[in-house]
Amino acid sequence: MQKTFFIWMSALILAVIASVAGITYYFRASMKERLIVSTTTSLYDTGLLDAVETIFEAKYPVDLNFIAVGTGMAIQHARRGDADMVLVHSPTDEWKFLTDGIGVNRKIIAYNFFTIVGPEEDPAEIQGTTPLQALTKIVESGRNGVAKWVSRGDNSGTHAKEKSLWADAGFDWRNLAKESWYIDVGSGMGEALKKADYFSAYTLADKGTYLKFYRDGLISLKVLVSQGKELLNVYSAIVVNQTLHPRVNFDGAMTFMRFLVSDEDQQIIEQFGKDAYGQSLFYPAVRLLKENTDPTIAGWIREYAFFNGTECPPEFRKGYPELYD
């Protein structure tokens, strides 16, 4: 009898402890404010944002939620008020986002470079050429039936860069898209890389996603062209204007923005990937631009991603002047 009673009491005590623990967890979780960040797939798929999230949530009572899509779709989410801020990499789209009054307080946080990757055999013989020479040779080889090109075709930042590169090389991508060697997949970077691998085709990829997929054994494509300011890839954070969307978490977004530009997070960006890949997948941009530590790269970023001589013109700033000191 006493043994049964002891067992029953032990079970009851354990149940109470579990219940209290569950309630405590619930209240702690419910005390966290939710922050929705619509982001480009390259930042998310590489795992960088997971690393950032772990440290940020340990410091602040904020529950970070990421929507990983192409830049065009990321901005559409924010336009509807379905995201509190965006992390994107297409200056042309970012400028329109600001001038339409939807985005405020833009900050450039990181950069890396796009690469043109393709089969090791390199049928178009682009290795060692400039980016624009490479595209010209790919068109010629495609039309001769010896090469293929995979385009993301998803209105992402990478797709926007691809279209601008085709234009700089003297081609209209809309005409190229009608040709049989040009394969439009309408998907994210990972799927585009796998399609290019399947077809032994060339494609434009951000460095971070390529390295992850190559290291994980998902693709065998090789980096063939990776030099030149034409391949510069710049990442920016922009907060949604609370005046237009009163329900967005503006304060939470600005807390995250200040973390992104902090020395702590810039160090996370700089170190991310070194252990696994032997090199950084992304490079921090805040100190570079503030102190001009590498005048050449800083000049490229200003030429490519600044608006009217600044990363965020004063008319698109909403408080937080210390961001632009």
pLDDT tens sequence across 60-97: 999 999 999 989 999 999 999 999 999 999 999 999 99
Question: What does DSSP say about strands 202-206 and 232-240: parallel, antiparallel, or unpaired?
Answer: unpaired
Do residues 251 and 77 lie in contact, with contact meaning Cβ atoms separated by under 8 Å? no
CA distances from 145 to 141, 149, 153 (A): 6, 11, 22
Residues forming CATH 3.40.190.10 domain(s) in the chain: 29-112+233-324, 114-231
CA distances from 305 to 141, 224, 225, 301 (A): 32, 25, 22, 6
pTM of the prediction? 0.85
Between CA 276 and CA 33 the distance in angstroms is: 33
Q: What per-residue confidence (pLDDT) applies to 30?
A: 47
Cite the beta strand spans of the chain per DSSP E. 33-40, 62-69, 85-88, 103-118, 149-151, 182-184, 202-206, 222-225, 232-240, 283-284
Three-state DSSP at 185 gives coil
Q: What per-residue confidence (pLDDT) applies to 31?
A: 63
pLDDT digits (tens, 9 = 90+) for 280-290: 999 999 999 99
Question: What does DSSP say about strands 85-88 and 103-118: parallel, antiparallel, or unpaired?
Answer: unpaired
Between CA 314 and CA 223 the distance in angstroms is: 40
User: pLDDT tens per residue, the chain (325 residues)?
Assistant: 455 544 454 444 444 344 434 433 333 444 689 999 999 988 998 999 999 999 999 999 999 999 999 899 999 999 999 999 999 999 999 999 999 999 999 999 999 999 999 999 999 999 999 999 999 999 999 999 999 999 999 888 899 999 999 999 999 999 999 999 999 999 889 999 999 999 999 999 998 899 999 999 999 999 999 978 899 999 999 999 999 999 999 999 999 999 999 999 999 999 999 988 888 999 999 999 999 999 999 999 999 999 999 999 999 999 999 999 8
What fold characterizes domain 114-231? D-Maltodextrin-Binding Protein; domain 2 (3.40.190)
CATH code of 29-112+233-324, in short, is 3.40.190.10
Q: What per-residue confidence (pLDDT) applies to 155?
A: 86
Do residues 102 and 76 lie in contact, with contact meaning Cβ atoms separated by under 8 Å? no
Question: How many C-alpha atoms does 207 have within 13 Å on its Cβ side?
Answer: 21
Q: How many CB atoms lie within 10 A of CB 125?
A: 15
